[in-house]
C-alpha cells in the first residue's frame, strides 16, 4: 500500500486500515469471517467500500460443495451482487470518483471492500440514495425481459416466483401482457399476486397445470413462457404451456447436470427457445443501467422483495436460508 498522498483519491493511504473483514468459505457449509489484506486498485480499477451484497442461488453449489471446487475459496467470493461507495481509484479512471455511490460487477463482494474494473460499475442516482441495489440480479431481470420480446396483449406464463420471477411479472405487466404465475410455495404465489400477476397456479400437478392454462387461454396456451426455476420438471412443463410459434425463455440456472427435454414437442410447436444468460460482462452492465432507470421510473419495485437481511457475522445463516428457503424468503442481502 502506498504511504503518500494519492493523486486520485486525496486520501492519505496510511490512514486506511491495512486489513478488512471478509467471509471465506473454508469447506462445504463452513464459512469464517477473517481479516484479509485491503486490496489496492490497479490502473483502470476502482475500490468500493461496500454497503451490501445480495445472495444469489448460484452460490448454493459452492456452499454445499461439489467435486470441482477447491477450498478455501477466495476471500469474499462468490459475492457478485455488491453496491457501495467508491473510496479509491486507480490510474486512468475518469468515469467515477471517490464518493460516488455505485452498483458493481465484481466477484469478491462478501467483504468490507472489493475491487472492480472501472467500466464494470454503474453510478446510482440521488433518487436511489440509501436504497439497496444489488445490480447484477436486477440487470439480469432486465436482460431476460429484453430477450423475451414481450408485447402488449400477449399471455405470459412465468414459472418460479422468486426474486427474478417477481421482477419479470412486474416487467411483463408494465409491457401490457397478461401474466400467469406458477410457483410451488404459497407465499411465492402471494408475491406474484402483489407483483401484478393476473392468475396464479400452484406448481403441484403437471397435467392439472396444463389443463388450467389451456382453459385460461382458450386452448391456445402462452405466447411467452419464462422458466425461472432451474429444474428439469418445470422446464418440461414450460414447453407444454408454450403456444405454437411461441417463445420459451430459459432464465433458470441450469448448471447442475444434464436435462432431458421433450424436443419432439418443441419441434412440433415450432418454438423459439432462448437461453437468456449473458456471458459478456458489458451486457450485464447494460442491464444494470436499464435497471437503474426502471427502478427510478417505478417500472419495477424490488424493495418489497428484499425479505431477509444479514451481516457478515451471520452469513452462515444466510447461506442456510438461501438453500432451504424458509417461508417468506425471497431475496437475502448482506449489509455492512
- Please state the three-class secondary structure of 74-102 as a single string: CCCCCCCCEEEEEEEECCCCCCCCCCCEE
Query: Comparing 75-79, 251-255, 321-325, which segment has the lowest mean pLDDT?
Result: 251-255
The Cα 307–Cα 305 span in angstroms is: 6
Which pLDDT band holds residue 5 (cuts at 50, 70, 90)? very low
Q: According to the model, what pLDDT value does residue 256 have?
A: 82
Q: According to the model, what pLDDT value does residue 15 have?
A: 66
**What mean pLDDT is predicted for residues 157-172?**
98
Residues in the chain: 336
**What mean pLDDT is predicted for residues 160-172?**
98
Reduced to 3 states (helix: H, G, I; strand: E, B; else coil), residue 176 is coil
**What mean pLDDT is predicted for residues 119-129?**
97
The Cα 150–Cα 194 span in angstroms is: 20
Report whether pLDDT(1) > 50: no
Which pLDDT band holds residue 130 (cuts at 50, 70, 90)? confident
The Cα 58–Cα 74 span in angstroms is: 16
The dihedral formed by the CA atoms of 229, 230, 231 and 235, expressed in degrees to the nearest 10: 80
The Cα 178–Cα 169 span in angstroms is: 9
The Cα 249–Cα 86 span in angstroms is: 36
Cell numbers representing residue 263 in the block: 424436443
**What mean pLDDT is predicted for residues 64-84?**
97
Which pLDDT band holds residue 255 (cuts at 50, 70, 90)? confident
Which pLDDT band holds residue 8 (cuts at 50, 70, 90)? very low
Angle formed by the axes of helices 135-148 and 163-174, nearest 10°: 50
Alpha-carbon separation of residue 321 from 35, 46, 189, 256 (angstroms) = 25, 32, 19, 19
Is the peptide bond between 78 and the residue preceding it cis, with omega within 30 degrees of 0?
A: yes
Mean pLDDT of the chain: 94
The dihedral formed by the CA atoms of 36, 43, 78 and 170, expressed in degrees to the nearest 10: 130
**What percent of the chain has a predicted confidence (pLDDT) above 70?**
96
**What mean pLDDT is predicted for residues 236-250?**
98
Contacts of 320 (CB under 8 A, 6+ apart): none
**What mean pLDDT is predicted for residues 16-21?**
90
Report whether pLDDT(3) > 80: no
Site of grid cell 420459451:
248
Q: For residue range 198-241, list pLDDT tens digits in order.
A: 999 999 999 999 999 999 999 999 999 999 999 999 999 999 99
Report whether pLDDT(14) > 60: no
Closest by Cα among 71, 77, 81, 76 to 30: 71
**What mean pLDDT is predicted for residues 187-206?**
98
Amino acid at each position: 500500500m502506498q504511504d503518500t498522498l494519492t493523486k486520485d483519491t486525496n486520501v492519505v493511504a496510511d490512514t486506511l486500515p491495512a486489513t478488512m473483514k471478509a467471509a471465506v468459505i473454508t469447506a462445504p457449509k463452513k464459512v469464517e469471517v477473517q481479516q484479509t489484506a485491503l486490496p489496492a486498485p490497479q490502473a483502470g480499477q476502482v475500490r468500493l467500500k461496500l454497503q451490501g451484497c445480495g445472495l444469489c442461488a448460484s452460490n448454493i453449489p459452492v456452499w454445499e460443495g461439489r467435486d470441482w471446487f477447491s477450498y478455501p475459496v477466495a476471500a469474499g467470493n462468490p459475492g457478485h451482487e455488491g453496491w457501495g461507495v467508491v473510496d479509491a481509484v486507480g490510474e486512468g479512471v475518469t468515469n467515477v470518483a471517490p464518493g460516488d455511490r455505485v452498483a458493481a460487477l465484481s466477484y469478491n463482494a462478501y467483504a468490507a471492500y472489493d475491487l472492480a474494473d472501472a467500466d464494470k460499475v454503474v453510478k446510482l442516482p440521488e433518487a436511489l440514495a440509501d436504497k439497496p441495489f444489488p445490480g447484477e440480479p436486477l440487470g439480469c431481470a432486465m436482460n431476460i425481459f429484453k430477450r423475451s420480446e414481450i408485447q402488449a396483449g400477449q399471455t405470459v406464463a412465468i414459472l418460479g416466483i422468486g426474486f427474478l420471477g417477481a421482477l419479470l411479472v412486474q416487467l411483463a405487466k408494465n409491457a401490457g401482457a397478461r401474466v400467469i404465475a406458477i410457483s410451488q410455495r404459497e407465499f411465492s404465489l402471494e408475491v406474484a399476486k402483489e407483483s401484478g400477476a393476473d392468475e396464479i397456479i400452484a406448481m403441484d400437478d403437471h397435467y392439472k397445470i396444463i389443463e388450467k392454462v389451456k382453459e385460461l387461454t382458450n386452448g391456445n396456451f402462452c405466447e411467452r413462457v419464462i422458466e425461472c426455476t432451474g429444474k428439469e420438471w418445470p422446464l418440461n412443463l414450460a414447453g407444454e404451456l408454450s403456444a405454437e410459434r411461441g417463445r420459451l425463455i430459459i432464465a433458470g440456472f441450469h448448471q447442475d447436470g444434464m436435462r432431458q427435454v421433450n424436443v419432439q414437442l418443441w419441434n412440433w410447436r415450432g418454438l423459439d427457445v432462448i437461453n437468456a444468460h449473458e456471458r459478456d460482462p458489458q451486457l450485464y452492465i447494460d442491464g444494470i443501467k436499464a435497471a437503474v432507470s426502471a427502478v427510478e421510473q417505478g417500472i419495477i419495485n424490488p424493495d418489497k422483495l428484499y425479505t431477509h437481511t444479514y451481516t457478515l457475522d451471520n452469513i452462515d445463516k444466510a447461506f442456510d436460508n438461501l438453500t432451504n428457503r424458509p417461508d417468506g424468503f425471497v431475496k437475502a442481502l448482506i449489509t455492512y
